């Protein structure tokens, strides 16, 4: 037996966890982020210190973040870059330190990315209640602020007795390492229990290897899927993040080439296939390419692979307009395979693709269909070329760059394996349709939660992962001024850790994204730009904010540029540097990227005194008529069957 505190036991246990997939074994926990307060300083904090001073090279590394939410972002980005085969823990104090992590927890769970959250909790004994930062609930004696983690965690537990720890830890790691279940796992640790000693069985700390499953498809399910695919005349693949997490990119390419089926990509799936593969039709949905969206409109069979089919991917269910469309969904989670009444193929993406390729041997989509897809993709690439060059854009205010030129310059000046990181604002949509992804890990846009403030912290997590894997990639963080203002403090952490990221800070004095959305919905860009208040509202001059000076004050190198040529040389200088560098560039918020011929459902007021809103409501109602339910159960057709399916409305 080993006498340790609950916190010491937790840290020792985390150090001993490993994962194995495809015969490759690695430690699962790459470190623990933390900010200390009275709820964790003498518990988890002491345990981390003790291990750091032990001289043991396998001790759990400690990373000191500046904001709890940002620490979770960094941890989640790390796990994504490592294809979920490694993760991080995050410790926070009681009260605000803990609740600051809630947004990060939701982001992790929605994006299906593992993170272990260890919020401090108030005394289990309650001897001195209420302690500083304790919520006193008249409704229940056993509630603390940490109960808000329950809906946003895939698993929540509170360790109120040391005896509970062993089974709770094992359960936590099982879920974190299960591709079908993973997300945020929260173990709330009351401050007194963290410091309490207990005689733990030694076996708890033995090296443990968790085998990350690659479930194979059930033969009957495979047969059903194959029958539907064989009946297809205009099939389309929608690749999601699951393709990359399963490292199924080569299997996808082989499947696409064997069958001639074009491949479209969701945000998380971008990079599933290189942009210059002839069958890659790029982004799909509300921010999709004209190629992917035209094929989606006509598709009779849609093969979703590792995708959640979010509203951005389906253009709020207006994208797939063929009345006979049916879906075949390959996913490791049955929760996703059943969406759109699909034929369900529960399996690891790589295993599933291998099985489909073998079972469809000798079958291919109509050659004319593949040829059309290739032609449509070429047409879109010409649009990208023009957008990168700024051709055909409306006239731009003096000296300002256009966002699509900025994206083009970063794409052209970065190496194929470099990583672009983004999360919210107008850039995720522009990147989705315009970024030329040349490597399966080259595109990291968090668009499950699209959380403003993820960018810099996420970039730091990605870069840490590349350093740990000895994988020489530059990380380009694309961040708008709005997101930057929300959360920039991890620049300090990047400087402290000597971790280099390149931050492209796009200043357009407010929200280009929500501004354009607001205008399209009849709300006249109200409250979307950063201006002085005047008698008529927030419509005065631009504010004298200098975000470059702000970044410099945090210890980053800053290159303030004007115009696109200046920007290009700054990117080259930033690449040469070994230090975290922020390139501050001003762009014109009123010049949009090439349009996506797709809609996004954002409801407009049904009644209003404003003519702009009344007009937008009429447009909204006409779009609503195109929304589909996709409820008809998928069935393989009989030979003479020209099925009329009745999905609509």
Q: Does 483 bind ligand TPP (CB under 6 A)?
A: yes
Least distance (Å) from ligand TPP to the CB of residue 428?
Answer: 9
Least distance (Å) from Mg ion to the CB of residue 361?
Answer: 51
Q: DSSP assignment of 329-361, as one string?
A: EEESSHHHHTGGGPEEEES-HHHHHHHHHHHTT
Instruction: Classify residue 108 by burial, with Cβ atoms within 10 Å: 0-12, 13-18, 19+.
Output: buried
Q: Does 451 bind ligand TPP (CB under 6 A)?
A: yes
SS3 of residue 473 by DSSP: coil
Q: Where are the alpha helices (DSSP H) in 24-101?
A: 44-52, 68-81, 96-99
Q: What's 463's DSSP letter?
A: H
Q: Does 480 bind Mg ion (CB under 5 A)?
A: yes
Nearer to ligand TPP, 466 or 483 (CB): 483
Binds 194: which of ligand TPP, Mg ion, none (CB < 5-8 Å by kind):
none
Nearer to Mg ion, 83 or 588 (CB): 588
Long-range Cβ pairs for the range 375-383 (8 Å, 24+): 376/281, 376/290, 376/291, 376/294, 376/295, 377/262, 377/278, 377/279, 377/280, 377/281, 377/282, 377/289, 377/291, 379/290, 379/291, 380/281, 380/282, 380/289, 380/290, 380/291, 381/275, 383/289, 383/290, 383/594
Q: Does 450 bind ligand TPP (CB under 6 A)?
A: yes
Nearer to ligand TPP, 502 or 593 (CB): 593
Q: Given the rule CB under 6 A, which of 145-153, 278-286, 326-334, 479-487 is the region that contacts ligand TPP?
A: 479-487
Q: Does 508 bind Mg ion (CB under 5 A)?
A: yes
Binds 271: which of ligand TPP, Mg ion, none (CB < 5-8 Å by kind):
none
Q: Does 482 bind ligand TPP (CB under 6 A)?
A: yes
Helix, strand, coil in percent for the chain, rounding step 5: 40, 20, 45
Nearer to ligand TPP, 302 or 583 (CB): 583
Angle at CA of residue 182, ends 52 and 477, nearest 5°? 70
Cα distance between residue 329 and residue 332, in whole Å: 10
Least distance (Å) from ligand TPP to the CB of residue 590?
Answer: 11
Binds 342: which of Mg ion, ligand TPP, none (CB < 5-8 Å by kind):
none
Q: Does 529 bind Mg ion (CB under 5 A)?
A: no
Query: Per-residue string for binding with ligand TPP, 505-534, x by CB under 6 A?
Result: ---x--xxxx--------------------
Q: Which of 273, 278, 334, 345 is nearest to 308 (CA)?
A: 334
Least distance (Å) from ligand TPP to the CB of residue 530?
Answer: 9
Q: What's 637's DSSP letter?
A: P
Q: Given the rule CB under 5 A, which of 67-75, 186-194, 388-396, 506-514 is the region that contacts Mg ion?
A: 506-514
| Two structure tokens written together for 362 | 């000798």
Least distance (Å) from Mg ion to the CB of residue 480?
Answer: 4
Angle at CA of residue 142, ends 11 and 110, nearest 5°? 60
Cα–chain-centroid distance for residue 128? 42
Binds Mg ion by CB under 5 A, chosen from 121, 481, 490, 647 = 481
Cα distance between residue 304 and residue 328, in whole Å: 6
| Two structure tokens written together for 355 | 């099985």
Count of CB atoms situated within 10 Å of the CB of 327? 24
Do 443 and 419 contact (CB within 8 A), yes or no? yes
Cα→Cα distances 334→99, 111, 194, 304, 503, Å: 31, 16, 37, 13, 38
SS3 of residue 459 by DSSP: helix
Count of CB atoms situated within 10 Å of the CB of 510? 21
Binds 11: which of ligand TPP, Mg ion, none (CB < 5-8 Å by kind):
none
Size of the site for Mg ion (CB under 5 A): 4
Binds ligand TPP by CB under 6 A, chosen from 43, 425, 442, 592 = 425
Q: Does 445 bind ligand TPP (CB under 6 A)?
A: no
Q: Given the rule CB under 6 A, which of 89-97, 368-376, 449-457, 497-505 is the region that contacts ligand TPP?
A: 449-457
Nearer to ligand TPP, 273 or 501 (CB): 501
> Which residue lies nearest Mg ion, judged by its C-beta?
480
Q: Given the rule CB under 6 A, which of 31-39, 73-81, 119-127, 446-454 is the region that contacts ligand TPP?
A: 446-454
Cα distance between residue 43 and residue 38, in whole Å: 9
Q: DSSP assignment of 538-600, as one string?
A: S-SSBP---HHHHHHHTT-EEEEE-SHHHHHHHHHHHHH-SS-EEEEEEB-TT-PPSPPS---
Cα distance between residue 462 and residue 82, in whole Å: 9
Nearer to Mg ion, 131 or 516 (CB): 516
Nearer to Mg ion, 482 or 594 (CB): 482
Cα–chain-centroid distance for residue 648? 31
Q: Where are the alpha helices (DSSP H) in 343-453?
A: 349-359, 367-389, 403-413, 427-434
Binds ligand TPP by CB under 6 A, chosen from 71, 175, 188, 427 = 427
Q: Does 482 bind Mg ion (CB under 5 A)?
A: yes
Q: Given the rule CB under 5 A, which of 43-51, 295-303, 328-336, 508-516 is the region that contacts Mg ion?
A: 508-516
Binds 483: which of Mg ion, ligand TPP, none (CB < 5-8 Å by kind):
ligand TPP
The pairing of strands 17-21 and 24-27 is antiparallel
Count of CB atoms situated within 10 Å of the CB of 132? 12
Start-to-end Cα distance in the chain: 64
Q: Does 424 bind ligand TPP (CB under 6 A)?
A: yes
Q: Given the rule CB under 6 A, which of 356-364, 393-401, 445-453, 561-569 is the region that contacts ligand TPP?
A: 445-453
Q: Does 279 bind ligand TPP (CB under 6 A)?
A: no
Binds 450: which of ligand TPP, Mg ion, none (CB < 5-8 Å by kind):
ligand TPP
Q: Given the rule CB under 6 A, which of 75-83, 331-339, 451-459, 609-617 is the region that contacts ligand TPP?
A: 451-459
Binds 452: which of ligand TPP, Mg ion, none (CB < 5-8 Å by kind):
ligand TPP
Q: Which of 69, 61, 24, 46 is nearest to 454 (CA)?
A: 69
Nearer to ligand TPP, 31 or 429 (CB): 429
Length of the chain: 649
Nearer to Mg ion, 157 or 588 (CB): 588
Size of the site for ligand TPP (CB under 6 A): 17
Nearer to Mg ion, 32 or 406 (CB): 406
Nearer to ligand TPP, 267 or 337 (CB): 267
Least distance (Å) from Mg ion to the CB of residue 483?
Answer: 8
Binds ligand TPP by CB under 6 A, chosen from 480, 548, 592, 594 = 480
Residues found near ligand TPP in the complex (CB under 6 A): 424-427, 450-453, 480-483, 508, 511-514
Residues found near Mg ion in the complex (CB under 5 A): 480-482, 508
């Amino acid at each position: 037996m080993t006498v340790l505190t609950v916190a010491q036991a937790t840290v020792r246990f985390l150090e001993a966890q490993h994962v194995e997939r495809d015969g490759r074994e690695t430690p699962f926990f790459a470190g623990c982020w933390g900010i200390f307060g009275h709820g964790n300083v003498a518990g988890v904090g002491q345990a981390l210190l003790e291990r750091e001073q032990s001289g043991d090279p396998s001790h759990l590394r400690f990373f000191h973040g500046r904001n709890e939410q940002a620490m979770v972002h960094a941890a989640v980005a790390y796990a994504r870059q490592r294809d979920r085969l490694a993760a991080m823990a995050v410790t926070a104090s009681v009260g605000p330190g803990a609740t600051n992590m809630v947004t990060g927890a939701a982001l992790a769970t929605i994006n299906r990315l593992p993170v272990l959250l260890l919020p401090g909790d108030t005394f289990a004994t309650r001897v001195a209640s209420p302690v500083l930062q304790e919520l006193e609930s008249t409704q229940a004696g056993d509630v603390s602020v940490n109960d808000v983690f329950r809906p946003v965690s895939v698993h929540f537990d509170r360790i109120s007795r040391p005896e509970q720890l062993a089974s709770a830890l094992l359960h936590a790691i099982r879920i974190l390492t299960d591709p079908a279940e993973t997300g945020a796992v929260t173990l709330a640790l009351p401050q007194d229990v963290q410091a309490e000693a207990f005689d733990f069985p030694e076996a708890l700390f033995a090296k443990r290897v968790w085998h990350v499953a690659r479930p194979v498809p059930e033969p009957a399910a495979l047969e059903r899927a194959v029958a539907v695919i064989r009946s297809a005349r205009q099939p389309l693949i929608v690749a999601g993040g699951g393709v990359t997490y399963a490292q199924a990119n080569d299997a996808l390419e082989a499947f696409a080439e064997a069958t001639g089926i074009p491949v479209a990509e969701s945000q998380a799936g971008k990079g599933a296939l290189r942009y210059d593969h002839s069958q890659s039709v790029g982004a799909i949905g509300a921010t999709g390419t004209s190629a992917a969206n035209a094929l989606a409109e006509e598709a009779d069979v849609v093969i979703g692979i590792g995708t959640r089919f979010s509203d951005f991917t389906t253009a709020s269910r207006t994208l797939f307009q063929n009345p006979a469309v049916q879906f075949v969904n390959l996913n490791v989670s049955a929760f996703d395979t059943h969406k759109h009444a699909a034929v369900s193929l529960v399996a690891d993406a790589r295993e599933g693709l291998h099985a489909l390729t073998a079972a469809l041997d000798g079958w291919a989509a109509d050659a004319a269909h593949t040829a059309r897809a290739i032609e449509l993709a070429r047409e879109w690439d010409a649009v990208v070329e023009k957008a990168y060059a700024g051709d055909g854009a409306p006239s731009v205010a003096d000296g300002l760059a256009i966002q699509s030129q900025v994206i083009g310059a970063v794409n052209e000046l970065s190496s194929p394996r470099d990583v672009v990181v983004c999360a919210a604002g107008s850039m995720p949509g522009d990147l989705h349709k315009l970024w030329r992804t040349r490597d399966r890990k080259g595109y990291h846009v968090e668009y499950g939660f699209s959380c403003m403030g993820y960018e810099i912290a996420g970039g730091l997590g990605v870069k840490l992962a590349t350093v740990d894997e000895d994988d020489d990639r530059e990380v380009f963080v694309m961040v708008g001024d709005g997101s930057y203002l929300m959360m920039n403090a991890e620049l300090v952490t990047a400087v402290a850790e000597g971790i280099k990221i390149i931050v492209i800070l796009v200043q357009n004095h407010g929200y280009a994204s929500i501004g354009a959305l607001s205008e399209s919905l009849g709300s006249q860009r109200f409250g979307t730009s950063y201006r002085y208040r005047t008698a008529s509202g927030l419509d005065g001059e631009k504010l004298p904010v200098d975000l470059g000076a702000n970044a410099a004050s945090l210890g980053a190198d800053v290159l303030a540029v004007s115009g696109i040529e200046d920007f290009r040389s700054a990117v080259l200088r930033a690449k040469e540097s070994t230090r975290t560098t922020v390139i501050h560039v001003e762009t014109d918020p009123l010049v949009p990227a090439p349009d996506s011929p797709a809609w996004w459902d954002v409801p407009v007021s049904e009644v209003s005194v404003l003519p702009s809103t009344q007009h937008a409501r009429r447009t909204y109602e006409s779009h609503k008529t195109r929304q589909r339910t996709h409820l008809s159960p998928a069935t393989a057709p009989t030979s003479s069957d020209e099925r009329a399916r009745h999905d609509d409305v």
